[in-house]
A and B are shown apart, each in its own frame.
Chain A
Amino acid sequence: MDRQGGHLETAAAGEGGCILRLGGRLDAYTVADLWPRALKVLETHRETPVQLDAGEVTYCDGAGVALILDLLRRPRTPPVTLVNVPDKVQRLLDPFDAAALAAPPPPRAPRQGVRRRLGEAIQGLGQGLHAQVTFIGEATAALVHALLHPRQVRWGDAVLIARRAGADALPIVGLIALLLGVILAFQSAVAMKQFGAEIFVANLVALSLLRELGPLMTAILLAGRSASAFAAEIGTMKVNEELDALTTMGLDPLRFLVVTRILAALLVTPLLTLFANLVGLAGAAMVLLTFDIPLVTFVNQVSQSVSLTDLAGGLVKATVFGLLVAGVGCLRGLQTRTGAAAVGEATTRAVVSAIVLIVAVDGVFAVIYFHLGI
């Protein structure tokens, strides 16, 4: 019993019944202790009359009202009766019907059956594929239109996006490329030193970076930075009805938003890849210096081992990766649904889809280059 807070006392009544006296302050903090004690009293006097006496209640809020109504709504014979209710508490109780509260609220909509969910998932996949094919067609048309009518392209936006996706990405691309070159050269040099073949580490690193790792690593970084940014920007615009505003103004969101982003990505991805290749080679050169291979030797070895075709092959791949990253980022942004979680979901889907596509297309390039003898 706590006279400062709420209190609960029991007293015997006629016919083996019980009087349950609630008093003091009944609020969300005090009723936490009183509630289980009151329910225990009801449990003890399951088949005898119980009177709930609220005469000593000095303060009552919503939680106190909930406690009183909970005791009154319990299905029992005879039901709990409420007596000595102060006017102020009665006014708080008036809007509620204890009998109506005995029934649980309407349940959530039942979960759909497995077959229905499976069907909807397949339908969703089909619709997603349809949307992707439609997007590829529309984006291609928009790009062709942009090439035929370059003055209609919003070059200012494209340059701004290119700066954000390209120039602003230089530090992270440079850092990762440097570390990649260092690690690749060091791991290879340790193994090849056993055969006295450290000199060929330059060949290995140069070929790996220019043909494979440079474009791949740059594209994955671009997916993490720019595909997510494109999806979030366009997704937020969709949630804010900015895309609807563009459409009703007669401006095609694809030409207005997607073309500029794809053009920017097409421009910056090969440049970033070139930068990554150079920094990666610099990292490898630094490592080989510690293995007593001078810089001149490294440069000679690199220039003999790789051709312009290797470099161009890597840059072509990088350009295609850039197209994929920008396209997927924009597509996921355009597919954003409503709600606070939608933009986050679109961003995640953009990054995951872009990375999967990059790796898959890299495999296709490997087969094509093999057959072309590149």
Chain B
Amino acid sequence: MPADPSHTGPVIQVQDLTLGFGGRPLLEGLNFDVHAGEVFVLLGGSGSGKSTLLKHMIGLYEPLAGEVRIGGEVLTGSEGAARRRILRRFGVMYQSGALFGSMTLLENVRLPLEAYTRLSREAMDLVARLKLQLVGLAGFEHHMPAEISGGMQKRAAIARAMALDPGILFLDEPSAGLDPVTSADLDRLILRLKDILGMTFVVVTHELPSIFTIADRVIMLDRETRGIIARGAPAQLRDHAEHPWVRRFFNREATEAA
């Protein structure tokens, strides 16, 4: 229900996006849409530009050309109040969790609420407690990030990203560095949030079991062609991909993963 009902059409539109550094393109002419309530996965080999693309999609970097629209509004090049309004539409979980080490988990989750809402302290605390409960961290409100495991830190980071109930969550390698059980727990959490809250997820991951569990659609980036070499549902790509690298990626690894 938190997804903003006023906007119809794709929640994210990437149009003719060319990105790179120092004027040299890393990826060129990217076009794709992300629809409300789906889990959209960015795939590719190491150095193919997945995380860089993600950082362009959330407005951390400016592209060489093209634009990114969030909820119909252009994020690329936006400034001031308009940018803040767009930024409130999504939350981001960084690869390391990026929790503030000097704050408790409750304070970490409360921070966006303090910045953007006029709720009372008691109300903000309750909202933060609910978010932590939703990601299975009830009872850890007063723990410091250093006192909990890597998997718990990632879940707390998801809780913080959800503090303002954005319709979209960007997750950068949520399973990286986690054991398979914790990784599977995180996958279940993503599906649960998608089911209960109707959230849209954009996920960068390498983990094949995770991709087959959570992804509705994937795109695969390629460093050599500087573009998208495959797009579709994971099972469809595994069974029918034409590009040899995509076939190798899905079939060989998928067989091993199974």
Contact = CB atoms under 8 A, between A and B. Distances in A.
A62 interface: yes
B2 interface: yes
Nearest to B106: A105
Contact of B127 (A36, A60, A63, A94): A63
B126 A66 contact: yes
Nearest to B147: A109
A61 interface: yes
A95 B196 contact: yes
B80 interface: no
B98 to A, nearest CB: 10
Interface string B1-13: 1100100000000
Given A61-B1, A66-B126, A339 B134 contact: no
B119 A28 contact: yes
Choose among A60, A63, A101 the residue with the greatest number of B CB atoms under 10 Å from its CB: A63
Interface residues of B, number: 33
B123 A105 contact: no
A296 interface: no
Contacts of A65: 130
B202 interface: no
Nearest to A58: B5
A338 interface: yes
A340 interface: yes
Interface stretch (B110-118, B149-157, B220-228): B110-118
A70 B129 CA distance: 12
B193 to A, nearest CB: 10
A88 B117 contact: no
Contact of B197 (A27, A92, A339): A92
A92 B165 contact: no
A59 interface: yes
Interface in B92-114: 100-102, 104, 106, 113
B102 A341 contact: yes
A156 interface: no
A108 B141 CA distance: 9
B130 A105 contact: no
B27 interface: no
Contacts, number: 89
B139 interface: yes
Contact of B123 (A27, A31, A94, A95): A31
A341 B103 CA distance: 12
Contacts of B146: 338-339
B68 interface: no
B127 A107 contact: no
Most A CB within 10 A of own CB, among B1, B123, B197: B1
B141 A106 contact: yes
A62 B1 contact: no
A108 B165 contact: no
B165 A27 contact: yes
Contacts of A299: none
Contacts of B118: 29, 32-33
Contacts of B120: 32, 35-36
A67 B127 CA distance: 8
Interface in B165-224: 165, 196-197
B19 interface: no
B41 interface: no
B142 interface: yes
B164 interface: yes
B133 interface: yes
B50 interface: no
Contact of A61 (B2, B116, B139): B2
A28 B113 contact: yes
Given A28-B127, A105-B142, A89 B101 contact: no
B162 interface: yes
Contact of A106 (B117, B142, B196): B142
B106 A340 contact: no
A108 B1 contact: no
B238 interface: no
Given A28-B164, A31-B123, A341-B102, A105 B117 contact: no
Contact of B133 (A95, A338, A340): A95
A58 B141 CA distance: 31
B130 A69 contact: yes
B126 A101 contact: yes
Interface of A: 27-29, 31-33, 35-36, 59-63, 65-67, 69-70, 88-89, 91-92, 94-96, 100-101, 105-108, 338-341
Given A32-B120, A63-B117, A339-B101, 10 more contacts: A28-B164, A36-B120, A61-B1, A61-B165, A91-B196, A92-B1, A92-B196, A95-B134, A105-B139, A341-B101
17 contacts: A31-B123, A32-B123, A35-B119, A36-B120, A59-B1, A59-B5, A62-B2, A62-B165, A63-B123, A70-B126, A89-B1, A91-B1, A94-B196, A105-B129, A338-B146, A339-B101, A339-B146
